[in-house]
Amino acid sequence: MTIVQKKSQRDKRLIEALVYQQGPISRVGIHARTNLRRSTISLLTRQLLSEGRLVEAGPSDNPLGRKQILLELNRKFGFLVGVEFDDERVTAGVMDLQPAVIRVISEAADLSHGKGGLLRQLQSAVRRVVAASRLPWVKLLGIGIADPGLVDTRRGITTSCSTIDFWSDVPLTSTFEKEFKVPVLVESKTRAKAMAERMLGVGQREPNMIYLDYGTGIGAGVIVDGKLLYGHNCGVGEVGHTNMVRSGPTCKCGSNGCLEAVAGAGAVESRTRKALSNGVSSQLLAMAQGDPSRITVWLVLEAARAGDKMCWNIVAEIAEEIGVAMANLVNLFNPSTIVFDQRLGVTGDEFLNLISRVVKSNALAGSAAGLALRFATLGREAGLLGVGLQILEKRFSMVKSGSS
């Protein structure tokens, strides 16, 4: 490839990235934000339009002067696949380049065949959701995986997972790229949801935000000054393994008194069953059809919302423990917003009020001032959308134009 061709391709990438990040935008707007000549912009945008990468979005709405034709990314030019999973479910979705989910499949996670079996299930989910979408494989631009474990995103490896014992040292990026021949991004489920809620959900693009993911494990996605934090080996956000009680119950990580061990889903379910076995009065057992094994943390939350005294007392204890952990994060990262797992929303605003009181009584007054607590809004699609956003950010990262 000649130097002129290399420069032309680089400039096309620059225009496409600029349109993705700031579109709809006019050719005049592109000129104002780059050092490209107007004739070059005209030529390259015509090429991008003919290739179907860009589309015209109508005239600008400026009140004075000549109205310019705006350009935006063609959201139908290609598609992405996202996979989100944990110890309970595997969900795969096809997304356009908005990103917006256009097809999804979900099924119970099969953990009975170990690491190899779960890998096969994840790859099968990708194939089946693409087949269901009826989109041609040639238009697949990338695959994103939202993993429940501790993920080294830079290397594309899941190093460990507290909720799936055998899920460690899994080279997901290289395995999937070898199988599907497209770029693959692996992210922690929590960070993916944080990204989605900030950009597309209740986070409203706040530059300083924390997302709390709640379930068997507890994790936090931390965004500071608009950037998702990772740390030395991508370990930022493991709030579930911060110590809450010096002599508390043993956590799966091997430590004692971790937040996950005292307030995670498993801990709440064990605490509830113990209370019932001790004869505490509650409607929960009836809600579980008389079978204690059917009691889940989500059923406890529903019972609390319905007015069950025992369950509400347990929920209040959870709020206290989570509130202390959040106060620590507020002091460390000074967010303007904390977004909580949507599934916790069944408890209603009183749950947030309880946490807010704990945070305000434990965090620095200046750091807690103006802090907003909200429930997430994106639901089951959050992880898919989060990895979709990150694939697009990587694909359309800005490149610099040059003279050679």
Ordered per-residue pLDDT tens for the chain, 404 residues: 456 568 889 999 999 999 999 889 999 999 999 989 999 999 999 999 999 999 999 888 766 667 789 999 999 999 999 999 999 999 999 999 999 999 999 999 999 999 999 999 999 999 999 999 999 999 999 999 999 999 999 999 999 998 899 999 999 999 999 999 999 999 999 999 999 999 999 999 999 999 999 988 899 999 999 999 999 999 999 999 999 988 889 888 888 899 999 999 999 999 999 999 999 999 998 999 999 999 999 999 999 999 999 999 999 999 999 999 999 999 999 999 999 999 999 998 999 999 999 999 999 999 999 999 999 999 889 999 999 999 999 999 865 554 43
- What CA–CA distance (Å, rounded) separates 108 from 90? 6
297-305 vs 309-333: helix crossing angle, rounded to 10: 110
Please tell me whether residue 156 adopts helix, strand or coil conformation: coil
Q: What's the confidence (pLDDT) of residue 403?
A: 42
Decide if 196 contacts 382 (C-beta within 8 A).
Answer: yes
Q: Give the three-state DSSP class for 143.
A: strand
Maximum separation of any 2 CA atoms in the chain, in Å = 81
Of all helices (H) and strands (E), which one includes residue 122?
Answer: helix 114-133
* Cα Rg, the chain, nearest whole Å: 24
d(C-alpha 310, C-alpha 403), whole Å: 71
The predicted pLDDT at position 60 comes to: 81
Helices (H), 134-203: 172-180, 189-200
In this prediction, residue 66 carries a pLDDT of 72
Long-range CB contact pairs, 277-284, < 8 A, 24+: 280/310, 281/309, 281/310, 282/308, 282/309, 282/310, 282/311, 283/308, 284/308, 284/310, 284/311
- 10 Å CB burial of residue 370 (0-12, 13-18, 19+) is exposed
Q: Residue 390 in 3-state DSSP?
A: helix
- CA dist 361 and 403 (Å) reads 58
Counted residue by residue, the chain has a size of 404
CB neighbour list of residue 35: distance below 8 Å, 6 or more residues apart: 401
Domains of the chain: 3-74 (1.10.10.10), 79-195+383-393 (3.30.420.40), 204-377 (3.30.420.40)
pTM beyond 0.75, yes or no: yes
Residue 166 tokens read as 């055998």
Check residue 267 and give its pLDDT: 93
pLDDT of residue 63: 64
Query: Closest Cα partner for 143 from 94, 106, 197, 192?
Result: 94
The label of the residue with tokens 């400026």 reads 62
Please report, as a single letter, which amino acid is at residue 184.
Answer: V
